[in-house]
């Protein structure tokens, strides 16, 4: 028996998408339009199977209050908002009006625009404002996918914003394999390496790094 994760060849990945993901048509159209507008954005656009996993985790945790750092064109925000209950809220942080403007009509079309509280500012500023506003412990679910060099800073704030038992997801933690490339010494790669080791050694959370898409860390805030 192999202890290795099965490598997703192109045909196997197509198969996974065919039998393992129920992507709502509105999500599919948003993803298609995003890739038409920004063809090189694959790293910023979460994969459909990630959207399915994230939505399932929102349902599983019974989350009502969610936060996302790094909206891009709003695919993950839409997936999360669709999974939140009717009175749920997603605080969505991004600095780009241009990117998020593409997603907003899709959010409204899907009937979940009212659940998404878009904050156009650096995510750290928004998270600090939420803490100053008394939202510590208020959130059930946090998805981190913005500036890689800020991951550790987002993470500390996310831990403060989360209730005990709340879930943090962190995207791109395998960084296309650059985390184990000795020649890769750019700031993003260094930050992700340092972040992964920080979370591994952090007794405040339980964690699992899931090799889905570009790597997704799940960390649960311990009581
Ligand atoms: Ca990402």
Instruction: Kindly give the interhelix angle for 123-132 and 151-161, rounded to the nearest 10 degrees.
Output: 20
For residue 47, the CA-to-ligand 1 centroid distance in Å is 9
Kindly report which listed range (7-11, 113-117, 155-159) carries the lowest average pLDDT score.
7-11
- pLDDT of 223 reads 93
For residue 147, the CA-to-ligand 1 centroid distance in Å is 10
For residue 23, the CA-to-ligand 1 centroid distance in Å is 18
Q: Is the pLDDT of residue 1 over 60?
A: no
For residue 170, the CA-to-ligand 1 centroid distance in Å is 8
Q: Is the pLDDT of residue 3 over 90?
A: no
pLDDT single digits (tens) 55-109: 999 999 999 999 999 999 999 999 999 999 999 999 999 999 999 999 999 999 9
pLDDT band at 127 (very low <50, low <70, confident <90, very high): very high
Task: State mean pLDDT over 106-125.
Answer: 98
Query: Could you count the other beta carbons within 10 Å of the beta carbon of residue 44?
Result: 18
Can you list the alpha helix ranges (DSSP code H) found in the chain?
10-20, 25-37, 48-61, 75-83, 97-109, 123-132, 151-161, 187-200
Whether the model pTM is above 0.85: yes
């Amino acid at each position: 028996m192999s202890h290795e994760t099965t490598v997703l060849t192109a045909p196997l990945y197509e198969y996974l998408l065919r039998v393992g993901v129920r992507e709502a048509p509105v999500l599919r159209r948003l993803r298609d339009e995003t890739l038409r507008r920004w063809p090189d954005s694959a790293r910023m656009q979460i994969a459909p199977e990630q959207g399915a996993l994230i939505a399932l985790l929102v349902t599983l945790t019974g989350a009502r209050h969610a936060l996302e750092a790094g909206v891009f064109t709003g695919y993950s925000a839409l997936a999360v908002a669709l999974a939140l209950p009717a009175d749920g809220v997603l605080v969505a942080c991004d600095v780009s009006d241009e990117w998020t403007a593409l997603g907003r009509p899709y959010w409204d079309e899907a009937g979940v625009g009212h659940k998404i509280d878009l904050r156009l500012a650096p995510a750290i500023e928004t998270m600090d404002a939420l803490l100053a506003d008394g939202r510590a412990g208020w959130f059930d679910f946090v998805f981190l996918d913005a500036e890689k060099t800020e991951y550790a800073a987002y993470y500390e704030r996310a831990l403060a914003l989360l209730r005990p038992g709340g879930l943090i997801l962190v995207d791109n933690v395998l960084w296309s394999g650059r985390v184990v490339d000795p020649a890769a010494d750019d700031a993003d790669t260094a930050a992700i390496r340092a972040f992964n080791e920080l979370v591994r050694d952090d007794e405040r959370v339980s964690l699992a790094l899931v090799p889905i898409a570009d790597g997704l860390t799940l960390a649960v805030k311990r009581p």
